[in-house]
Structure formats: C-alpha cells, structure tokens
Amino acid sequence: MSNLNTLKPYFLKATEEAAIASAKWRGKGDRKAADAAAVKAMRKVFDDVPFDGKVAIGEGERDEAPMLYIGEQLGNEINNPNVPKVDIAVDPLECTNHCALDKPNAIAVLAAAPRGTLLNAPDCYMDKIAGPPELVGEISLEASVEANVESAAKALDKKIEDLTITFMDRSRHDDLRKRLKSMNVNLAPIGDGDVSASIFAANPKHSVDMLMGIGAAPEGVISAVAILGMGGVFEGQLKFQVSSDVGMDLQNEQYERACKMVSGDLDKIRSAEELCTSKDSLFVATGVCSGYLPGVVFNKNSVITESHIIDVSSGQQEYPKTSREF
C-alpha cells in the first residue's frame, strides 16, 4: 500500500467536493463558473489536509482560468518536518466545456506523489501516446504514426482496420487524422478529456486501443500516474507551439519558464516512470458528468458521487461510491 494512503480520504474528499460544486453548473453553458466552483471547493478541502503540499503542475494562464496555480502551497502543516511533503498534479475540472454542455467524461482529478517526484513544468502542452499493458515496449513517440499502428496491431493480435485510436479533435491533428485514416483504423476523436481517454486506452477491456496526439501537460502527468498503476504504457514530450491561437509571447514565456523549472532536455521523450519517478503515488478522480465515471447525482436530500482511486505502489484500484445528506 502507498505511504500516502493515510492521506487518501482527504484526496478523495477534494475531488468529490470539486465534482459536486462543478456539477451544479452542468448544462448551464458557463465553463468558467463551473471551473471556478471546482477550484474553490478543492482548495477549501486542501486547507485542512495535514500535509505539506505543493502544486507541481496544474492549470495556468493558457485559459485565463481560475486555478490552483503551479507552486501554490497546500495543507495546514506547511514546513512541518514531521508530515508528508507531497507534490500534486491537479485539474479540479477536467473537461470544462463538457461540464458546461453536460456532455460525457467531465471529472475532478488529481495525482499525488512525494515531493520532487512529479514533473514540475509550466502549463504548456504535451505530445502523448498511451496504451494497455500489451503495448509496453511496443509503441513510442520515437516511432512514426504508421510504425506505432502496425506494432499495436501485431501486439494486440488485431487487424489494423480493427484498431480504435483516440485523439483530441483539434486542427493541430489534421495530419495525424489523415495518416490514421489512410491506414483504415477506427478513429475516435474527442472534444475534451484526454485523462479519461488515456485511461480508456490503458484499459485492455475498453474498445479504445491507443491514444495519440497533443493535449495539455498537466493532464499528461496525471494520466501517467494512473497508467503507472494500471501497468500500461504512457510517454509524453513537452510542446510549446501547437496552434495559431497561442500567441508567440505566451509560447516564449512558457519555454523560458520551462527552462527554469524542468531539469534536463526539454525535448526529451519521457516515460510514465520519468513523469512520476515514485511508485508511492496516488491517482484520484470523481465523476462530474457521466462517462468514464458516473456523474454526480443530486437527490432531494442527498448527493451521490462515484470515484476511481489507483494506488500505484500496489496496483490496487478502488471505485468508491459516496452518499451524503445535504
């Protein structure tokens, strides 16, 4: 069991409260209000956690969103040498747009690990590839799209045309889409939510066989922790220029900040084990809108949440269901 296990109830409460707060904004068309509600609720829980916590990677200026900002200190025992020092990768509301429109796979999610073991990087982008345990050692960002598809088909004992590959539905992936389509694989583009998509890809029982393409770096680190515990494969490479809607000033700022924050080569392809260098880590997510997890259910006098916890050290997965009265 993880040495962070004593903090697991607090982390679960943090994602549950963020999920409940944001779920009150489901379908109301205001993603910023939903995100702000999630951040406020999660921060309130963290204020009472008996640990010395710090946000290693999380939301930033890209969306001009409310945030648990990178470097923010968390907990009520900051600088106490007798409590766990913990790094947090966090997205209080993954899939803000989906929450605003009441579409699937919005979640409140975090990953926790000992201080200094999570990638500490600015809120930039990350090229990613993920798959189930059968694809460990078979796929990599170092290989071409075509080579990865062929390797995956062989390792999974499937025809190429029977593979299903998911990616963010963005113009930056026009070439990726074209190359996959030319190989006749099944395409599963998603609007938002590449944490959920990464977990789908890492689950051998799911219809998705692999995730490819560029998404947000914080979600990449969170996904890496989950997939470490699932025994799957994940690789990520930081990216600072992915679309015309990201101004050059912001690109330069992200790169300069990354030079100060990230040790080693910024262009390095990092495995899940390099994005989170400790197995003493936890992944915790709570559903907001039904999809990967059931969404928050509001009854007359109670609220029900369903979550997913992965203890990386043991590989144990839990799906707690919590009901509480108003």
> What angle, rounded to 10 degrees, do the helices at 217-230 and 194-202 form?
20
Across the range 269-293, mean pLDDT stands at 97
155 pLDDT exceeds 50?
yes
Segment 43-71, tens digit of pLDDT: 999 999 999 999 998 876 444 456 788 88
The confidence score (pLDDT) of residue 211 equals 98
Structure tokens at 48: 């009472």
Instruction: Please indicate, yes or no, whether residues 107 and 157 belong to a single structural domain of this protein.
Output: no
**pLDDT: which is higher, 221 or 65:** 221
90 pLDDT exceeds 60?
yes
Instruction: Please indicate, yes or no, whether residues 156 and 264 belong to a single structural domain of this protein.
Output: yes
The confidence score (pLDDT) of residue 124 equals 83
**Which of 97-101, 254-258, 273-277 shows the lowest mean pLDDT across its residues?**
254-258
Instruction: Please indicate, yes or no, whether residues 48 and 159 belong to a single structural domain of this protein.
Output: no
Segment 101-141, tens digit of pLDDT: 999 999 999 999 999 999 887 778 899 999 999 999 999 99
CATH of the domain at 36: 3.30.540.10
Instruction: Please indicate, yes or no, whether residues 270 and 130 belong to a single structural domain of this protein.
Output: yes
The confidence score (pLDDT) of residue 241 equals 65
Across the range 7-14, mean pLDDT stands at 98
Tell me which residue of 42, 46, 26, 44 sits closest to 34, measured CA to CA: 26
> What share of residues in the chain are helix, strand, coil (percent, to 5)?
35, 25, 35
7 pLDDT exceeds 70?
yes
The span from the CA of 17 to the CA of 35, in Å, is 12
Instruction: Please indicate, yes or no, whether residues 27 and 89 belong to a single structural domain of this protein.
Output: yes
The confidence score (pLDDT) of residue 66 equals 64
Segment 15-29, tens digit of pLDDT: 999 999 999 999 999
Instruction: Please indicate, yes or no, whether residues 198 and 297 belong to a single structural domain of this protein.
Output: no
Instruction: Please indicate, yes or no, whether residues 161 and 263 belong to a single structural domain of this protein.
Output: yes
Beta-strand relationship, 164-168 and 186-190 = parallel
The span from the CA of 267 to the CA of 86, in Å, is 26
The residues near 242 (Cβ < 8 Å, ≥ 6 apart) are: 125, 172, 214
User: How many structural domains is the chain composed of?
Assistant: 2
Instruction: Please indicate, yes or no, whether residues 289 and 148 belong to a single structural domain of this protein.
Output: no
Instruction: Please indicate, yes or no, whether residues 172 and 209 belong to a single structural domain of this protein.
Output: yes
* Residue 235 phi, psi dihedral angles, 5° rounding: -135, 150
Write out the residue range of the structural domain in which residue 265 sits.
125-275
How big is the CA angle at 253 (ends 85 and 38), to the nearest 5 degrees?
50
Beta-strand relationship, 270-271 and 210-216 = unpaired
Q: How far is CA 155 from the centre of its chain?
A: 26
CATH of the domain at 256: 3.40.190.90
Instruction: Please indicate, yes or no, whether residues 191 and 76 belong to a single structural domain of this protein.
Output: no
Instruction: Please indicate, yes or no, whether residues 271 and 164 belong to a single structural domain of this protein.
Output: yes
Last-in-domain residue among 252, 275, 298: 275
Instruction: Please indicate, yes or no, whether residues 234 and 181 belong to a single structural domain of this protein.
Output: yes
Across the range 166-182, mean pLDDT stands at 97
